[in-house]
Every structure is written in structure tokens, then in C-alpha cells.
Amino acid sequence: MARERTAKKREEHEVEFSRIVAFSDGVFSIAITLLVLGIDIPDTLHHSQVGHALWEEREALFAYAISFAVIARFWIVHHSFFSEVKAFDGKLIGLNMLYLGFLVLIPFSSKVLGEYGGVFASVVLYSANLAAVVLIGQWMAWDARKAGLTAIDVETAREDLIRGFFIAGVFGLSVIVALFDPSIAPYMWLALFFEGRGHVIERLSRPRSS
Amino acid sequence: MARERTAKKREEHEVEFSRIVAFSDGVFSIAITLLVLGIDIPDTLHHSQVGHALWEEREALFAYAISFAVIARFWIVHHSFFSEVKAFDGKLIGLNMLYLGFLVLIPFSSKVLGEYGGVFASVVLYSANLAAVVLIGQWMAWDARKAGLTAIDVETAREDLIRGFFIAGVFGLSVIVALFDPSIAPYMWLALFFEGRGHVIERLSRPRSS
Amino acid sequence: MARERTAKKREEHEVEFSRIVAFSDGVFSIAITLLVLGIDIPDTLHHSQVGHALWEEREALFAYAISFAVIARFWIVHHSFFSEVKAFDGKLIGLNMLYLGFLVLIPFSSKVLGEYGGVFASVVLYSANLAAVVLIGQWMAWDARKAGLTAIDVETAREDLIRGFFIAGVFGLSVIVALFDPSIAPYMWLALFFEGRGHVIERLSRPRSS
Amino acid sequence: MARERTAKKREEHEVEFSRIVAFSDGVFSIAITLLVLGIDIPDTLHHSQVGHALWEEREALFAYAISFAVIARFWIVHHSFFSEVKAFDGKLIGLNMLYLGFLVLIPFSSKVLGEYGGVFASVVLYSANLAAVVLIGQWMAWDARKAGLTAIDVETAREDLIRGFFIAGVFGLSVIVALFDPSIAPYMWLALFFEGRGHVIERLSRPRSS
């Protein structure tokens, strides 16, 4: 393949490659830390109101916890994807930037969800944002593998693809649920964490014999 | 032990290990810098009111100073813990993320404390936040040592554990004190810094003969 | 040349050189992530107003998308420039700081553009900010090449210079267009992305024979 | 000296040493980028008021420019100091944290200065903040040299010390000037940049013969 030949080999351009990874890590760590700005109480309260105001932030804290876990998870996936990358070109850098572009929006979507948790528009925004990150991540991985830039085997690639569709499916489903009751939707996302050990996906993606 | 065998050796996965440490360092440095956003004065003051408004921020500055010192301290502990880690697995990465998740909340807790220093709810929030960071840090260290992922000897581990309970104890005690007078509690935290040299802990954790 | 002799060789000061690059990368990654703070909705809306408020943020999202792409692009250019740098001195560090000083203003200019997209002053601010980054970048590259600090050949340097003037020209032109209709100007900047593959520039900068 | 013997040698603890430097660089790059949050215009203006509102931000832009240059300068000094450090201990790490603790306050002081430029309290706050950073930096350098942790020769140390007192002196003088006219003080700080080439200091610190 032409792209495989023209791409820069990682071992020959280790410094350049490290800068891409370090830049991505920087963006991940800032985005995950900016989540805290979504939690805030007014600064003109009477002392007796502070406890109540903090209690009112429980939805914001819940949104914070989900978003922190989601970004941490995205980082681990990104991390393990890039540990398999053997060569890079402009297209991989471009897709990675597109991926980061949607990742950086999460603090905004998370803040909106924390303030307006039971509202259809918030759930759609949040779901769309996270599904976009997942799907672009899948696109990037699929494209890199097709171009021969990664060392990922067919088996792992299939598992990753099914996992991606599973995650995007959960968000899609939660939007449909939100049409009826937006306050239930966020609880559906918790399914992502129970599925974290990958049992269902393992069963779906393994050939029957093994 | 199974986990010791399946964990990734640090020397064989130096790049991956560095990314985990670099990500943690990034989160630490952003969280510590975001503390400054907790200090602010209104932007519509008459010129003669500026000095007074700055003086009114003295509690916010005090909260900033404590929180900066606390996060700096946490970073040093985290730093020295990870310098002893010899192998890592998914559980260590997960516990580290949980640790960071509570660390990132400190700028919020600190801001609330800076605005409502003498209020019971603020003291509880701040104490709970910091105690959670300490206890999760202990859990992570204890779990890693048990699984054979670190090179920490039994002596150091015991000292660390006692230190952890001492710190969590100070915060627990300050909540009880805050029940009677919330404005005293923050001064109790200063004990953590006098204890910084570890004399008390040394005496408690050393066997009698040495 | 005197400067070429007194400059520090990169291979002899790898750690120092890495710190400059790492500092720049840190600033890039924070600036690009702070863009998200330019998107926000009021936190006192009635639930039925949230969807509308999000829709009202479409200009802010558009400004975010343009600015993210622009900073990402600047980073790639900076990245590829520094991969060619073979030695550095105080002047290069100083020009790099000047470059970063204007880069860090982009989140502000972008926020203003997102809030007041159809206003002449916003378009001028944004255009001036981005043109300043481009021109200082050109100055830095031109100065480093002249002093013998880079390994960039004459051909690449000429291409880069034309590219720089092209980009600055687009922003200059957009200011003129904004005199008549400020809401059209941002769409002109999209030309920068179609030109991303550099076909026009290639034709302009290549000698006729090749 | 006892401390020289007990300190960790840099070459034997390169990873740990790099983490300290990387953490400091992270804090520097975030603090310098947060300066942009000090510039802001209201988001409820009529379109015809935007140009005027931006013009009103010229003091904030001036404060931004000074603060960016000052932090950039501090970074260069910090950078060159740490490139001479050969060993480190807990005290050096502690002093570095204290240094960073005052550095991180600059975005706050700078914001206040940008909003209330002609006010005595703002000038005092800003001057005190910057003088504190300079003096702690001197203390750290002096202490490290005394303990044998750096490779800095007596000549350079004397130059650095005079430079430190010169900078702290300019800020001290500006506070006295601000007693009479606070709006003049910031212009005095520009002297720091003209002195950047160090001609005055060179003349003062060199022995007569050389």
C-alpha cells in the first residue's frame, strides 16, 4: 500500500511521534481537569444556605463522575491504540485532532448535563458528543489498521469494532429512552462500566471454537 | 501470585508506564494551577473599594495556600510511590484514575472553603474530599504491594499506612471540631505540616529495639 | 556566521531543547482546550429553554471548530519547524515566546467571535490575532534559517514563506470584506482548509521546470 | 557537607528529577495560559458596543503582555537554573513548590491589575507577588549552591544575586512611586525588559580588571 510506504516509521521519528502522543495526553489531562469547573455554587449565599446549595450540586457531581470515568476510559483506549501504532502520516494526525476536537467539548456537554440533567436536549447533546468521540476513535483505528500503520491483529480489531458499536449503541438507545423520560438516560450509561470487563463483547467477538 | 505474573513489567513497557505517570503529573499540575481561579474580586468596584475587596479575599488566599501545599504534598507522595512501582496492570491504572478523580475535585472544595470558611458544610466537604484522596492513595499503595507490583519493603509500607491513617484522622477530627466551631477546623490541618518531618509517625511505626 | 557558532547545538543540549518544545506543547494543548470555555449557556434557564439556548450557541460552536482547527494546524507547523531546528539561542527562544504570547490570546478572540460573530470589531480582532501568529511564526522561521539554526532547504523555506503570506492575506482580505458584511468573513477562513493540501502554493512556489 | 552527601544525584535518579522539572514546566505553561482568562468582555452587549468594549480592555491587554513576558522570563531563569542542578533533596523540592505557589498567583494579580490598573492596591498586590517569586527564586538558588547541589560558579551566582535584587528593587520602587501616582508604576516595570540584555548588571557584577 502506498500509504504504508510513505508514512513515517515510528522508530525513525521517535521524537516527533512522542510529541503527538504528549500533545494528546496534555489535551486529555486538561479536558478531564476542566470538568471540575462544571461544579460551582453561588458566592453570595447566606451561611445557612451553603449546605443546601452543595446538596443541589449532586447532579453536577454525578455528571462529573460519569464524565471523569468516560474520559479516563477514552484515555486508556487511546493509550493502548497508540502503543500499537508503528508508523504515522498526516491523515492519522488529522483524525487524531478531529478526535481531540470532540473530546475537548465534553466539559461543556458535561456542565450542561449537570445543570439540566432531566432535560431531553442535554441528554441528546451529551450522547451525541460521546458517540462522536467513540465513532471517530473507531474510524481512526480502522483507517490506521487498513493503511498498515498499526500492529493490531484482526481478532483485536474485531473486538474493538464491536466494543465501539456497543458504546455508540448505548448512547443511541439512551436518546430514544430520553424521548420518554430524560432523567433515566444517564443511568443507562452506567452499563458501560459494568461492561468494562468486556464479558459480553468477548462472547460476541470470539469465534465459537475457542 | 497470578496478578504479579500477568502485570506488565515496567522495564519492558517504559513508554506506556511513562504515559501513565505523565498523565498523572499533567492532572496534578493543572489541578494545582486551577486553585487560583478560586480567588477573585468583582470587576465593577469603585477604585476606593479595591483594597478592601482584596482584604476580603484573605480567606480565599488562606484556602489557596492550604490547598496548594496539600496538592504539592500529595504529588510528592504519588511521585515517590510511583518511583517504587515495578509493574502495572489494569487495576493499578483504575485505582490511579479514581485517585485523580477525587484530586481534581479539590479546586472546587477549596473554592467553597475560601468563600464560606466558617461554615460547617464547607469544612465537611473539604475534609471529606481530602480524606478520600488520602484513603484511595493508601488503598492503591496497599493493593499494589499486596499484588507484588512495588518494591516497597514491609517497614516503609507500615510507616505509610500509619501516616495515611494519621492524615485521615486529622480530617475526621476536624469535622467533629467543626460541629462546635467550624472556623477552628482549618487551623487543625496545619498540624499536617508540622508533622511533615514524620517524628511522631516514626516513633509510632518503628519497632522498639531500633 | 557568529550566531551559528554561539548557538547551542541541539544534540549536545537535548534536555534543554526538549524543555522548550515541551513547554510550547503544553501551551498549545492548554490554549486549544481553553477554547471550550468560550461555549456556555446560562445556568438559570427553565427546562423548556435549554434546547433553544443550545441552538443559540451554534455561532460559538462554529468559532470553536474554526479555532480548534487553526490551533491544531499551527501546532503541526510548529511541530514540523522544530523538528528541523538543529541549534537554538536566546533569540529563537524569545521569538518562540512572542509567538506563544499571541497564540494564547486566541481563546479570547475566539470567544468574542463566537458571541459577536457578525460584528466588524470581532472579525478584525480575530483576523489580527491569527495574522500576528502566522507572521511571527514566519519571522521566527526566517530568522532561524538565516542564522543557520535549521536544516530547512531553500525550496521548503520559499514554500513556507508563500504559505505564510497566503494565510495572512486571507485574514487581511477578510477584514476588507468585513467592512461591507462582517458575517461573511468567517466563511472566507474556510479557504485555509481547502488550501490545506497546498496545491495552489505548490504551483506558485515550484520553479517552472519541475 | 551533610546535605550534599544525602541528596539524590541527578544522573542516578534521572526519571525522578525529570518529573520535578516536568511538573514545574506544566505549572508554568498552565499559569501563562490562564492569563488569557483575565481578558473578557460582557456577553450581553449591543453590536455597536463591541468595538468600544474591546477598546476598554486595553489595560487588561497591557497587563496580559507584561505578565506573559514576566512569566516567560521566570521560566527561562528557572530553566537555566535547573539545567545546572546536579543533585536534589526534599528542601530543594519544597522551595521549588513555594516558588510555584507564588507563580500560580500571577494570573490573579494580573487580572486585578488589568481591571484596576491605576489603583494603589493593585500595584502593591502585583509588585508584591512578583517580588515574592523573584526572592524565593533567589533563595532557592542560593540555598542549592550553598548545599553543593548546583554546578554554578561564584561569578554566575553573584550576577544572579545582583540581578535578583535589581528586579526586586524595581518592584519595591514602583510601590513607592504608586503612593504618588499608581498609573505610572506599571511603566517602570518595562525597565526590566530593557535591562534584559544585562548591561547594567554586567558592569556592576564584573570585577574591574576583566
Q: What are phi and psi of B9, to 5 degrees?
A: -70, 135
pLDDT in tens, D93-122: 889 999 999 999 999 999 999 999 888 899
How many CB pairs lie under 8 A apart between chains C and D?
70
For residue D115, give how far its alpha carbon lies from the nearest alpha carbon of chain B (Å).
Answer: 7
- For residue A88, the cross-strand partners are A8
Count of all residues that appear for chain A in the document: 210
Select from C30, C100, C116 the Cβ nearest to the Cβ of D50: C116
> Is residue B119 less than 8 Å (CB to CB) from chain A?
yes
The Cα B141–Cα B160 span in angstroms is 9
Q: Higher-confidence residue: D12 or D176?
A: D176
**What subunits touch chain C, counting only 3 or more CB pairs under 8 A?**
A, D
Q: C-alpha grid cell for residue B151?
A: 518494591
Tell me what pLDDT residue B210 has: 41
ipTM of the complex: 0.83
For residue A184, the 8-state DSSP code is: T
The Cα C132–Cα C99 span in angstroms is 8
* D165 and D105 Cβ atoms separated by less than 8 Å: no
**What subunits touch chain B, counting only 3 or more CB pairs under 8 A?**
A, D
Tell me what pLDDT residue D206 has: 56
* B157 and B200 Cβ atoms separated by less than 8 Å: no
pLDDT at residue D191 is higher than 60: yes
Nearest CA in chain C to D51: C121
Alpha helices in D104-119 (DSSP H): 106-115
> Is residue D128 less than 8 Å (CB to CB) from chain C?
no
* Percent residues over pLDDT 70 in chain C: 90
- First-to-last CA distance in chain C? 32
> Is residue A11 less than 8 Å (CB to CB) from chain B?
no
Neighbouring residues of B85: CB distance < 8 A, sequence distance ≥ 6: B10, B17, B92, B144, B149, B150
Pairing of strands B8-9, D87-88: unpaired
Whether residue C29 and residue A26 make contact (CB cut-off 8 A), yes or no, is: yes
Q: Higher-confidence residue: D209 or C60?
A: C60
DSSP B66-95: HHHHHHHHHHHHHHHHHTTB-EE-HHHHHH
Kindly provide the residue ranges of all beta strands, DSSP E only, lying in D41-92, ordered along the sequence.
87-88
Q: In chain B, which stretches have pLDDT less than 70?
A: 1-2, 4, 193-210
Neighbouring residues of B209: CB distance < 8 A, sequence distance ≥ 6: none
Q: Higher-confidence residue: C203 or B48?
A: B48
Whether residue A122 and residue C50 make contact (CB cut-off 8 A), yes or no, is: yes
Chain C residue numbers touching A102 (CB-CB < 8 A)? none
Tell me what pLDDT residue D209 has: 46
Tell me what pLDDT residue A160 has: 76
For residue A207, give how far its alpha carbon lies from the nearest alpha carbon of chain B (Å).
Answer: 24
Whether residue D36 and residue C120 make contact (CB cut-off 8 A), yes or no, is: no
Is 0.95 surpassed by the pTM of this model?
no
For residue D119, give how far its alpha carbon lies from the nearest alpha carbon of chain B (Å).
Answer: 6
Chain D residue numbers touching B72 (CB-CB < 8 A)? 97, 100-101
Tell me what pLDDT residue C210 has: 41
DSSP A127-147: HHHHHHHHHHHHHHHHHHHHT
D161-173 average pLDDT score: 80
Alpha helices in A35-103 (DSSP H): 50-56, 58-82, 90-103
Select from A28, A47, A65 the Cβ nearest to the Cβ of B119: A47
Q: Which of A11-25, A80-94, A112-126 has the lowest mean pLDDT?
A: A11-25
Neighbouring residues of C35: CB distance < 8 A, sequence distance ≥ 6: A104, C64, C67, C68, C71, C106, C107, C110
The Cα C15–Cα C9 span in angstroms is 11
pLDDT in tens, B67-87: 998 899 889 888 888 888 888
Tell me what pLDDT residue A85 has: 87
Q: C-alpha grid cell for residue B96?
A: 490511579
For residue D180, give how far its alpha carbon lies from the nearest alpha carbon of chain C (Å).
Answer: 32
Burial of D5 (0-12, 13-18, 19+ CB in 10 A): exposed
Q: Which of D120, D159, D125 is nearest to D142 (CA)?
A: D159
> Is residue C7 less than 8 Å (CB to CB) from chain D?
no
Burial of A139 (0-12, 13-18, 19+ CB in 10 A): middle
The Cα C158–Cα B185 span in angstroms is 66
A157-183 average pLDDT score: 81
* C96 and C20 Cβ atoms separated by less than 8 Å: yes
pLDDT in tens, C64-104: 998 999 899 889 888 888 888 888 888 898 899 999 999 99
Q: Which of A175, A47, A73, A194 is nearest to A122 (CA)?
A: A175
Count of all residues that appear for chain B in the document: 210
Q: Higher-confidence residue: A181 or A192?
A: A181
pLDDT at residue D195 is higher than 70: no
Conformational region of residue A71, where left means phi above 0, alpha means psi within -120 to 50, and beta covers everything else: alpha
pLDDT at residue A105 is higher than 90: yes
Tell me what pLDDT residue A165 has: 80
Nearest CA in chain A to C61: A105
For residue B180, give how far its alpha carbon lies from the nearest alpha carbon of chain D (Å).
Answer: 32
Whether residue C30 and residue A31 make contact (CB cut-off 8 A), yes or no, is: no
Q: Higher-confidence residue: A37 or C9?
A: A37
Angle at alpha carbon of residue D33, lines to D31 and D36, rounded to 5°: 115
Q: Which of A160-164, A199-203, C169-173, D184-188 has the lowest mean pLDDT?
A: A199-203
The Cα C40–Cα C60 span in angstroms is 9
pLDDT band at D48 (very low <50, low <70, confident <90, very high): confident
Tell me what pLDDT residue B30 has: 94
Whether residue C31 and residue D36 make contact (CB cut-off 8 A), yes or no, is: yes
For residue A53, give how far its alpha carbon lies from the nearest alpha carbon of chain C (Å).
Answer: 14
Tell me what pLDDT residue B170 has: 83
> Is residue B97 less than 8 Å (CB to CB) from chain A?
yes
Chain D residue numbers touching C20 (CB-CB < 8 A)? 79
For residue C88, give how far its alpha carbon lies from the nearest alpha carbon of chain D (Å).
Answer: 13
Q: Which of C74, C160, C178 is nearest to C116 (CA)?
A: C178
- For residue C87, the cross-strand partners are C9
Pairing of strands C87-88, C8-9: antiparallel
Rounded (10°) CA dihedral A101, A27, B102, A71: 40
Q: Which of D106, B65, D128, A124 is nearest to D114 (CA)?
A: D106
Chain D residue numbers touching B26 (CB-CB < 8 A)? 26
Q: Higher-confidence residue: D111 or D13?
A: D111
Tell me what pLDDT residue C84 has: 85
Distances (CA, A) of A163 to A63, A72, A77, D182: 23, 16, 11, 62
pLDDT at residue D210 is higher than 50: no
> Is residue A128 less than 8 Å (CB to CB) from chain B?
no
Chain A residue numbers touching B112 (CB-CB < 8 A)? 41, 50, 54
Q: Side chain identity at B50, as an amino acid letter? A: V
pLDDT at residue D196 is higher than 70: no
> Is residue A21 less than 8 Å (CB to CB) from chain C?
no
pLDDT band at D163 (very low <50, low <70, confident <90, very high): confident
Tell me what pLDDT residue B44 has: 84
Select from B93, B112, B118 the Cβ nearest to the Cβ of A41: B112
- For residue C118, the cross-strand partners are none
Whether residue B16 and residue A65 make contact (CB cut-off 8 A), yes or no, is: no
pLDDT in tens, C125-176: 999 999 899 999 989 988 888 888 887 777 777 777 787 778 778 888 888 8
Tell me what pLDDT residue D175 has: 84
Q: C-alpha grid cell for residue C95?
A: 521569538
pLDDT band at D194 (very low <50, low <70, confident <90, very high): low
For residue C24, give how far its alpha carbon lies from the nearest alpha carbon of chain A (Å).
Answer: 10
> Is residue A25 less than 8 Å (CB to CB) from chain B?
yes
> Is residue D120 less than 8 Å (CB to CB) from chain B?
yes
What burial letters (b/e) apply to B158-167, b meaning 16+ CB within 10 Å?
Answer: bbbebbbbbb
C43-56 average pLDDT score: 88
How many CB pairs lie under 8 A apart between chains B and D?
70
Angle at alpha carbon of residue D1, lines to D100 and D4, rounded to 5°: 45
Q: Which of A96, A86, A91, A84 is nearest to A9 (CA)?
A: A86
Select from B22, B26, B36 the Cβ nearest to the Cβ of D107: B36
- For residue B152, the cross-strand partners are none
D61-86 average pLDDT score: 88
